[in-house]
Chain A
Amino acid sequence: QLQLQESGPGLVKPSETLSLTCTVSGDSISSRSYFWGWIRQPPGKGLEWIGSMSQSGSTYYNPSLKSRVTISVDTSKNQFSLKLRYVTAADTAVYFCARGSPTGTTTLNNWGQGTLVTVSS
Protein backbone atom coordinates (compact mmCIF):
# COMPACT_ATOMS: atom_id res chain seq x y z
CA GLN A 1 0.00 0.00 0.00
CA LEU A 2 1.42 3.35 -1.04
CA GLN A 3 2.26 5.70 1.82
CA LEU A 4 3.76 9.19 1.81
CA GLN A 5 5.29 10.88 4.84
CA GLU A 6 6.43 14.48 5.08
CA SER A 7 9.33 15.41 7.31
CA GLY A 8 11.33 18.51 8.13
CA PRO A 9 11.65 21.38 10.60
CA GLY A 10 8.42 22.62 12.12
CA LEU A 11 9.83 26.10 12.67
CA VAL A 12 11.68 28.26 10.16
CA LYS A 13 12.93 31.81 10.62
CA PRO A 14 11.83 34.59 8.25
CA SER A 15 14.05 35.03 5.19
CA GLU A 16 15.45 31.51 5.57
CA THR A 17 14.76 28.41 3.45
CA LEU A 18 12.01 25.91 4.22
CA SER A 19 13.12 22.37 3.40
CA LEU A 20 10.81 19.37 3.48
CA THR A 21 11.18 15.77 2.37
CA CYS A 22 8.50 13.31 1.34
CA THR A 23 9.41 9.68 1.88
CA VAL A 24 7.49 7.24 -0.29
CA SER A 25 6.90 3.65 0.80
CA GLY A 26 5.00 0.84 -0.84
CA ASP A 27 6.17 1.76 -4.33
CA SER A 28 9.29 3.00 -6.06
CA ILE A 29 9.37 6.61 -7.27
CA SER A 30 11.43 5.55 -10.27
CA SER A 31 9.63 2.33 -11.17
CA ARG A 32 6.57 3.84 -12.78
CA SER A 33 5.77 7.10 -14.47
CA TYR A 34 3.85 9.20 -11.97
CA PHE A 35 3.85 12.87 -11.09
CA TRP A 36 4.65 13.89 -7.51
CA GLY A 37 3.54 17.14 -5.97
CA TRP A 38 3.47 19.52 -3.04
CA ILE A 39 0.39 21.35 -1.75
CA ARG A 40 0.03 23.63 1.24
CA GLN A 41 -2.79 24.85 3.45
CA PRO A 42 -2.44 27.89 5.72
CA PRO A 43 -4.19 27.44 9.07
CA GLY A 44 -7.95 27.77 8.59
CA LYS A 45 -7.61 28.44 4.87
CA GLY A 46 -7.81 26.59 1.58
CA LEU A 47 -5.44 24.46 -0.43
CA GLU A 48 -2.71 25.91 -2.64
CA TRP A 49 -0.87 23.92 -5.29
CA ILE A 50 2.87 24.56 -4.97
CA GLY A 51 4.26 22.47 -7.78
CA SER A 52 4.95 19.05 -9.20
CA MET A 53 7.61 16.90 -10.74
CA SER A 54 7.41 14.14 -13.30
CA GLN A 55 9.17 10.82 -12.96
CA SER A 56 11.61 12.03 -15.60
CA GLY A 57 12.52 15.02 -13.46
CA SER A 58 10.63 17.81 -15.23
CA THR A 59 9.30 20.37 -12.77
CA TYR A 60 6.28 22.66 -12.83
CA TYR A 61 5.58 25.41 -10.32
CA ASN A 62 2.79 27.71 -9.20
CA PRO A 63 3.54 31.00 -11.00
CA SER A 64 3.11 32.92 -7.74
CA LEU A 65 5.82 30.86 -6.04
CA LYS A 66 8.02 29.95 -8.98
CA SER A 67 10.87 32.32 -8.12
CA ARG A 68 11.30 30.78 -4.66
CA VAL A 69 10.51 27.07 -5.13
CA THR A 70 12.56 24.04 -6.06
CA ILE A 71 11.25 20.46 -6.15
CA SER A 72 13.75 17.66 -6.57
CA VAL A 73 13.95 13.89 -6.27
CA ASP A 74 16.37 11.43 -4.69
CA THR A 75 15.48 8.08 -6.23
CA SER A 76 18.13 6.25 -4.15
CA LYS A 77 16.19 7.18 -1.02
CA ASN A 78 12.75 6.99 -2.63
CA GLN A 79 12.15 10.60 -1.61
CA PHE A 80 11.28 13.90 -3.19
CA SER A 81 11.87 17.29 -1.65
CA LEU A 82 10.61 20.85 -1.47
CA LYS A 83 12.69 23.96 -0.91
CA LEU A 84 11.03 27.33 -0.46
CA ARG A 85 13.40 30.26 -0.14
CA TYR A 86 13.02 33.63 1.58
CA VAL A 87 10.03 32.57 3.64
CA THR A 88 7.73 34.98 5.45
CA ALA A 89 4.87 34.51 7.90
CA ALA A 90 2.58 34.06 4.90
CA ASP A 91 4.31 30.75 4.20
CA THR A 92 3.11 29.30 7.51
CA ALA A 93 0.99 26.31 6.53
CA VAL A 94 0.46 22.58 6.63
CA TYR A 95 2.50 21.18 3.78
CA PHE A 96 1.29 18.01 2.04
CA CYS A 97 3.09 15.81 -0.44
CA ALA A 98 1.03 13.75 -2.86
CA ARG A 99 1.15 11.44 -5.85
CA GLY A 100 -0.69 12.33 -8.99
CA SER A 101 -1.25 10.31 -12.13
CA PRO A 102 0.99 9.41 -15.06
CA THR A 103 -0.16 12.58 -16.81
CA GLY A 104 0.14 15.15 -14.05
CA THR A 105 -1.19 16.31 -10.71
CA THR A 106 -4.66 17.33 -11.78
CA THR A 107 -5.79 14.35 -9.74
CA LEU A 108 -3.95 13.71 -6.48
CA ASN A 109 -4.76 10.16 -5.52
CA ASN A 110 -2.48 9.62 -2.55
CA TRP A 111 -1.57 12.15 0.12
CA GLY A 112 0.75 12.34 3.08
CA GLN A 113 -0.70 13.31 6.42
CA GLY A 114 0.80 16.80 6.20
CA THR A 115 3.29 18.65 8.35
CA LEU A 116 2.86 22.07 9.92
CA VAL A 117 5.61 24.57 9.23
CA THR A 118 5.56 27.82 11.15
CA VAL A 119 7.59 30.80 10.00
CA SER A 120 8.56 32.87 13.00
CA SER A 121 11.61 34.39 14.61
Chain B
Amino acid sequence: QSALTQPPSVSGSPGQSVTISCTGTSSDVGSYNLVSWYQQPPGTAPKVMIYEVSNRPSGVPDRFSGSKSGNTASLSISGLQAEDEADYYCSSYTGSNSVIFGGGTKLTVL
Protein backbone atom coordinates (compact mmCIF):
# COMPACT_ATOMS: atom_id res chain seq x y z
CA GLN B 1 0.00 0.00 0.00
CA SER B 2 2.02 2.97 -1.29
CA ALA B 3 1.42 6.52 -0.11
CA LEU B 4 -0.64 8.85 -2.27
CA THR B 5 1.57 10.95 -4.54
CA GLN B 6 1.96 14.65 -3.80
CA PRO B 7 4.52 17.14 -5.16
CA PRO B 8 7.28 17.65 -2.57
CA SER B 9 6.95 21.41 -2.71
CA VAL B 10 4.95 24.28 -4.14
CA SER B 11 5.36 28.01 -3.73
CA GLY B 12 3.58 31.24 -4.42
CA SER B 13 3.65 34.91 -3.59
CA PRO B 14 1.16 36.56 -1.25
CA GLY B 15 -2.17 37.06 -2.99
CA GLN B 16 -1.50 34.39 -5.58
CA SER B 17 -3.17 31.00 -5.91
CA VAL B 18 -1.60 27.56 -5.68
CA THR B 19 -2.87 24.04 -6.24
CA ILE B 20 -1.55 20.87 -4.63
CA SER B 21 -2.31 17.56 -6.30
CA CYS B 22 -2.81 14.18 -4.69
CA THR B 23 -2.71 11.17 -6.97
CA GLY B 24 -3.89 7.75 -5.92
CA THR B 25 -5.42 4.79 -7.67
CA SER B 26 -8.80 3.43 -8.60
CA SER B 27 -8.73 1.57 -5.26
CA ASP B 28 -8.60 4.68 -3.11
CA VAL B 29 -9.00 8.26 -4.41
CA GLY B 30 -10.78 7.09 -7.53
CA SER B 31 -13.31 4.93 -5.70
CA TYR B 32 -14.40 7.06 -2.78
CA ASN B 33 -15.32 10.69 -2.17
CA LEU B 34 -13.48 10.43 1.13
CA VAL B 35 -10.43 12.59 0.57
CA SER B 36 -9.27 14.91 3.33
CA TRP B 37 -6.59 17.59 3.42
CA TYR B 38 -4.55 18.55 6.47
CA GLN B 39 -2.38 21.57 7.22
CA GLN B 40 0.62 21.05 9.48
CA PRO B 41 2.81 24.02 10.48
CA PRO B 42 6.22 22.97 11.80
CA GLY B 43 6.16 21.33 15.22
CA THR B 44 2.38 21.14 15.44
CA ALA B 45 -0.33 18.56 14.96
CA PRO B 46 -2.18 18.42 11.64
CA LYS B 47 -5.44 20.33 11.24
CA VAL B 48 -8.17 19.26 8.83
CA MET B 49 -8.82 21.85 6.13
CA ILE B 50 -11.00 19.87 3.72
CA TYR B 51 -13.00 16.68 4.16
CA GLU B 52 -14.99 14.49 1.79
CA VAL B 53 -13.19 16.02 -1.20
CA SER B 54 -14.59 19.53 -1.03
CA ASN B 55 -16.15 20.30 2.34
CA ARG B 56 -14.66 22.88 4.67
CA PRO B 57 -14.95 22.52 8.45
CA SER B 58 -16.27 25.59 10.21
CA GLY B 59 -13.52 28.14 10.77
CA VAL B 60 -11.51 27.24 7.67
CA PRO B 61 -11.30 30.20 5.30
CA ASP B 62 -13.10 29.88 1.98
CA ARG B 63 -9.74 30.56 0.31
CA PHE B 64 -9.24 26.81 0.70
CA SER B 65 -11.11 24.54 -1.68
CA GLY B 66 -10.91 20.92 -2.75
CA SER B 67 -11.85 18.93 -5.82
CA LYS B 68 -11.34 15.54 -7.41
CA SER B 69 -11.09 14.18 -10.93
CA GLY B 70 -10.57 10.47 -11.45
CA ASN B 71 -7.71 9.25 -9.28
CA THR B 72 -6.42 12.75 -8.49
CA ALA B 73 -7.63 15.10 -5.79
CA SER B 74 -6.55 18.71 -5.52
CA LEU B 75 -6.34 21.38 -2.84
CA SER B 76 -6.45 24.97 -4.04
CA ILE B 77 -5.52 27.97 -1.97
CA SER B 78 -6.35 31.41 -3.27
CA GLY B 79 -5.19 34.76 -1.93
CA LEU B 80 -2.09 33.23 -0.37
CA GLN B 81 -1.13 34.57 3.02
CA ALA B 82 2.07 34.14 4.99
CA GLU B 83 0.17 32.11 7.58
CA ASP B 84 -0.62 29.48 4.94
CA GLU B 85 3.02 28.37 4.89
CA ALA B 86 3.00 24.79 6.16
CA ASP B 87 3.12 21.15 5.11
CA TYR B 88 -0.07 19.84 3.54
CA TYR B 89 -1.16 16.20 3.49
CA CYS B 90 -3.98 14.50 1.67
CA SER B 91 -5.58 11.29 2.84
CA SER B 92 -8.05 8.86 1.32
CA TYR B 93 -10.20 5.96 2.35
CA THR B 94 -8.95 2.72 0.83
CA GLY B 95 -11.76 0.38 1.81
CA SER B 96 -12.10 -1.97 4.79
CA ASN B 97 -11.96 1.00 7.16
CA SER B 98 -8.37 1.73 6.18
CA VAL B 99 -6.85 5.13 5.40
CA ILE B 100 -3.76 6.16 3.45
CA PHE B 101 -1.92 9.48 3.52
CA GLY B 102 0.00 11.32 0.85
CA GLY B 103 3.70 12.00 1.19
CA GLY B 104 3.13 15.66 1.98
CA THR B 105 3.75 18.96 0.20
CA LYS B 106 5.69 21.88 1.64
CA LEU B 107 4.03 25.18 0.77
CA THR B 108 6.34 28.17 0.76
CA VAL B 109 4.91 31.68 0.64
CA LEU B 110 7.57 33.77 -1.06
Contacts and interface: CB of A to CB of B under 8 A. Distances in A.
Interface of A: 37, 39, 45-49, 52, 58, 60-64, 96, 104-109, 111-114
A112 B45 contact: yes
Contacts, number: 67
Interface of B: 1, 3, 32, 34, 36, 38, 44-48, 51-52, 57, 89, 91-93, 96-104
A106 B36 contact: yes
A114 B3 contact: no
What is the interface of chain A mostly: helix, strand, loop, or mixed? Answer: loop
Contact of B34 (A47, A60, A62, A106): A106
A86 to B, nearest CB: 20
Given A47-B101, A49-B98, A111-B47, A104 B3 contact: no
Contacts of A112: 45
A49 B91 contact: yes
Contacts of B3: 46
Contacts of A47: 38, 46, 89, 91, 101, 104
